[in-house]
Chains A and B, each alone.
Chain A
Amino acid sequence: MDKLLQVQNGEAVSRRDIPDLPFRDFQKVVLSKTDHSGFPVQFFAYENEEKELKLITVIRSGTHLYTAGCSLPEEFPSLTAKCEKFHMFEREIAEQFGARPKDHPWLKMVRYHANYRGKEDVFGNDYRVDIPGNYPYFSVDGHSIHEVAVGPVHAGIIEPGHFRFQCAGEKVFSLEIQLGYQHRGVEKLLEQAGQPLNRLPVICESIAGDTAIGHSLCHSQAIEALAGLEVDKGSKIIRSVALELERLANHIGDLGALSGDVAFNPPLNYFGRIRGEFLNLSLTMAGNRFGKGLVRPGGISFPVGEEQRQIMINKVIDETQGIDHVCDLLFSAHTVLARFENTGTVPRELAEKIGLVGYSGRASGLSYDARVAFPTELFGEMEANRNNRTVGDVCSRATVRREEIMHSLDAIPKLLSKNIDAEPLPVPASHTLAADSFVVTINEAWRGELSHCLLTNKEGAILRYKVKDPSFHNWTGLSMSLRNQGISDFPLCNKSFNLSYCGFDL
């Protein structure tokens, strides 16, 4: 692959070293790299210093990362028609920069906002009109076909989004998911000229609050690469522990919620309480239940002492047996398994086609785990996890989470038994970013592959800040899982994915 530049996760390279290909060559090489085991990690547009529209991609293939760029014409032949993995990326490019992918099979807006360049809107929208604007939802006609519309405000304490089901009786033909309600302009805010860099971690921690550690890790690693900062080993250990605690709290809460969705209440209540214990461990380290404030470029804000170490190790050991027992209760109840098994199946072939990541991908037999493929922090020293049920149904997604819970419970005390002495970071921080550079960071956040990608300009200011949450890939998986399912299985399927609205909407 001489036309692509191989890069490392979290390594800054000069923008000049990234091949700038003719558009046709770019598409050809990207397609050949992503037809089988290759997947786009990033695929986004930006305006360079001369206000030319450029396109850049990061592709993963096995344990390698490749990048290349090109100039982006105002109208271009869509890749999606040939490879579905690009469908959301191309829609995003059309929305953010007003460039039109021709022959895109389903060109609709992603988050519903005006494009950044003040160009004519690709979707013909007037953004003074409320979402979804000038968009007729996909519909199915025919005898006894009916439509169910849900949201944006849902019946519960949950983020907003709109779901539209086309059904015949109980059976769902098609689920269309319209997001964008949570759009806060995160990328534009991160790129804002002249603001101090220490505002950025605070924004990143709230891109998706349930993934505060994941996003702040991706951000910090990117700044560390661009500013040439070294992170001591103690800080790396604590950052790894923080990411695993985030995974634990979310998986445990979700297993409880899945149990509640099939009306089996004991695990719902036990896991609800136990989830809180792990949030409290994040508070023990960071002073905040979601770990906000802990991870900053260069290391961690609050070094962990002997007292905190003991509290954490003891709590993990104390809870492990109880968690194991509640898992056993959940996964051996016939009434539960009858609902979990063969519900909401996304077969491997389909999962690969749409590029599912994280536990949703692993449950469908795609073993990719960024902790193994592109290890950061201390993950290279950690044992890899194994998954046993990978047929792509709700039961597989629940089982993978159970396995990840036990894996993290095992890993945390091991990590904490190492030397965790860390230098506290100086406040206020002042970093100088390398000029004219590029960096991509990837971490296995609890939902899967999370990536930030930064480009700096000649002055070392941020030219483009691209965020990609795992939910960006996986929402399509939820739509697919509902095909030919009973509509009453929607809550169960939804919770088995438990995707981020705000992480997608940015």
Chain B
Amino acid sequence: MLKVIQNRREQGYRTTKYPKEPINLYSRYRGLPTVHQDCDKELARSCADACPQEAIDADKMVIDIGRCTFCGQCEIQSEGRFITFSNNFELAAASREALFTSGSLPALAEHSKQHFKKLFGRSLQLRQISAAGCNSCEADTNVLGTPFFDLQRFGIDFVASPRHADGIHVTGPISNNMRAAVLSTYEAVPAPKVVIASGCCSISGGPFRGSRDIVGDLNSLIPVDLYIPGCPPHPMTTLHALLQYFK
């Protein structure tokens, strides 16, 4: 018992005051990219050609953050003249098109479905489905339950049964072997229901794009309401997305 009290004292209170107070992530974190429109076309094209994810369109001067894994190679290659990754973790969007960006995203709170706010603003229960996710999206979603983030203080929680859920949160590129399980879990959630695609895999197939063994795009199976990019999305990206979209 004494050890319990001693450890309690030593560990202290660690919960973040976000969103009342802002959080600054370490400068090396790669968040929302900016595509510098004045960049030399030749350089832009060579970065686009070298992108391991083929996520850059050098003609339209946009990057698809639904496909990008934020590996940062384009920033190194262009020495920051073509693309720079900012510290901004606010990456989520309500439409797939919005993820083709040159550096700004539509304000998420205004683009959410307003009746969702009314229905789920005070209580949101989600069923997480890992559909061939590599466990980094899953781990960084799980972490929202730890004391630092303490997701439950917002009335948001991940639940065990789809019957208890208001929606599903899907990670991974949806392997063919998980297709049926995703669909039946979705069907088991009572309507009206929310569908969240988290991580570049569920949005575009991510690193596994082109594989014959995956579906690769959740929206081709069921209509997606909220897209949370990243590889994986930083827990703050997910927290921001949930608060903006539903609160």
Which listed segment binds A: B37-45, B124-132, B220-228?
A: B124-132
Which listed segment binds B: A52-60, A199-207, A454-462?
A: A199-207
CB pair A182 B175 closer than 8 Å: yes
* Bound CA–CA A209/B135 (angstroms): 5
Q: Which residue of A lies closest to B30 (CB)?
A: A287
CB pair A286 B208 closer than 8 Å: no
Interface 1/0 per residue, B192-216 and A, CB below 8 Å:
0000000001000011101111100
CB pair B201 A206 closer than 8 Å: yes
Interface 1/0 per residue, A273-300 and B, CB below 8 Å:
1011001100111111110110000000
* Bound CA–CA A181/B6 (angstroms): 44
CB pair A325 B26 closer than 8 Å: no
> Any chain A CB within 8 A of the CB of B166?
no
* Bound CA–CA A338/B93 (angstroms): 49
> Any chain A CB within 8 A of the CB of B178?
yes
Interface 1/0 per residue, B1-34 and A, CB below 8 Å:
0011011101100100000000001101110000
CB pair B130 A160 closer than 8 Å: yes
Neighbouring B residues of A159 by C-beta, 8 Å: 130, 133, 135, 138
Which listed segment binds B: A61-69, A150-158, A351-359?
A: A150-158
CB distance from A187 to the nearest CB of B (A): 10
Neighbouring B residues of A311 by C-beta, 8 Å: 26
* Bound CA–CA A269/B12 (angstroms): 11
CB proximity to B under 8 Å, residues A188-230: 188-189, 192, 196, 198-199, 201-203, 205-210, 212
- Which listed residue, A184, A288, A333, touches B132 by the CB 8 Å rule? A184
CB proximity to B under 8 Å, residues A94-148: 111-113, 130-131
Neighbouring B residues of A201 by C-beta, 8 Å: 52
**Known pairs A206-B206, A283-B29, A301-B72; A329 contacts B7 (CB<8 A):** yes
* Bound CA–CA A176/B186 (angstroms): 27
- Which listed residue, A287, A333, A427, A501, touches B28 by the CB 8 Å rule? A287
CB pair B234 A292 closer than 8 Å: no
CB pair A184 B138 closer than 8 Å: no
CB distance from A234 to the nearest CB of B (A): 17
CB pair B73 A427 closer than 8 Å: yes
Neighbouring A residues of B139 by C-beta, 8 Å: 209-210, 253, 290
CB pair A273 B208 closer than 8 Å: no
CB pair B231 A184 closer than 8 Å: no
- Which listed residue, A208, A288, A301, A322, touches B70 by the CB 8 Å rule? A288
- Which listed residue, B3, B145, B181, touches A181 by the CB 8 Å rule? B181
CB distance from A395 to the nearest CB of B (A): 18
Q: Which residue of B lies closest to A270 (CB)?
A: B11
Centre residue among B129, B135, B138, B139 by max chain A CB count within 10 A: B135
**Known pairs A157-B141, A288-B30, A329-B3; A210 contacts B70 (CB<8 A):** no
Neighbouring A residues of B85 by C-beta, 8 Å: 287
CB pair A322 B10 closer than 8 Å: yes
CB pair A202 B134 closer than 8 Å: no
CB pair A287 B72 closer than 8 Å: yes
CB distance from A203 to the nearest CB of B (A): 5
CB pair A157 B71 closer than 8 Å: no
CB distance from A259 to the nearest CB of B (A): 12
> Any chain B CB within 8 A of the CB of A332?
yes
Interface 1/0 per residue, B217-247 and A, CB below 8 Å:
0000000000000011010000000000000
CB pair A273 B148 closer than 8 Å: yes
**Known pairs A208-B135, A293-B70; A276 contacts B181 (CB<8 A):** no
CB pair B10 A180 closer than 8 Å: no
Chain A contact patch, size range: 35 or more
Neighbouring A residues of B52 by C-beta, 8 Å: 196, 198-199, 201-202
* Bound CA–CA A234/B243 (angstroms): 42
Q: Which residue of A lies closest to B230 (CB)?
A: A288
CB pair A181 B178 closer than 8 Å: yes
CB pair B177 A183 closer than 8 Å: yes
Q: Which residue of B lies closest to A291 (CB)?
A: B136
Q: Which residue of A lies closest to B132 (CB)?
A: A182
* Bound CA–CA A349/B29 (angstroms): 47
CB distance from A396 to the nearest CB of B (A): 22
> Any chain A CB within 8 A of the CB of B80?
no
Q: Which residue of B lies closest to A159 (CB)?
A: B130
CB pair B148 A188 closer than 8 Å: no
* Bound CA–CA A420/B132 (angstroms): 37
CB pair B207 A192 closer than 8 Å: no
* Bound CA–CA A417/B207 (angstroms): 35
> Any chain A CB within 8 A of the CB of B57?
no
CB distance from A305 to the nearest CB of B (A): 10
* Bound CA–CA A505/B176 (angstroms): 12
> Any chain B CB within 8 A of the CB of A272?
yes
> Any chain A CB within 8 A of the CB of B104?
no
> Any chain B CB within 8 A of the CB of A266?
yes
**Known pairs A181-B177, A198-B52, A293-B70; A209 contacts B137 (CB<8 A):** yes
Q: Which residue of A lies closest to B180 (CB)?
A: A130
CB proximity to B under 8 Å, residues A305-321: 308, 311
> Any chain B CB within 8 A of the CB of A328?
yes
CB distance from B130 to the nearest CB of A (A): 5
**Known pairs A131-B177, A287-B72, A428-B73; A206 contacts B147 (CB<8 A):** no
* Bound CA–CA A289/B140 (angstroms): 9
Q: Which residue of A lies closest to B28 (CB)?
A: A287
CB pair A292 B71 closer than 8 Å: yes
CB pair B143 A272 closer than 8 Å: yes
CB distance from B234 to the nearest CB of A (A): 7
Q: Which residue of B lies closest to A113 (CB)?
A: B213
* Bound CA–CA A285/B29 (angstroms): 9
Rank and list the top 10 A-B pairs by shortest CB-CB distance, nearest first: A209-B136, A155-B160, A209-B134, A272-B146, A428-B50, A185-B213, A427-B77, A287-B28, A185-B211, A293-B71
Chain A to chain B contacts (Cβ below 8 Å), 9 pairs: A157-B130, A159-B130, A181-B177, A210-B134, A269-B146, A284-B26, A287-B70, A290-B136, A301-B71
In the complex, besides A288-B231, A427-B73, 9 extra interface pairs with C-beta distance below 8 angstroms are A159-B138, A188-B213, A201-B52, A209-B133, A209-B136, A209-B137, A301-B72, A325-B6, A325-B7
Q: Which residues of A contact B (CB under 8 A)?
A: 111-113, 130-131, 152-153, 155-160, 180-186, 188-189, 192, 196, 198-199, 201-203, 205-210, 212, 253, 266, 269-270, 272-273, 275-276, 279-280, 283-290, 292-293, 301-302, 308, 311, 322, 325-326, 328-329, 332-333, 424, 427-428, 500-502, 505
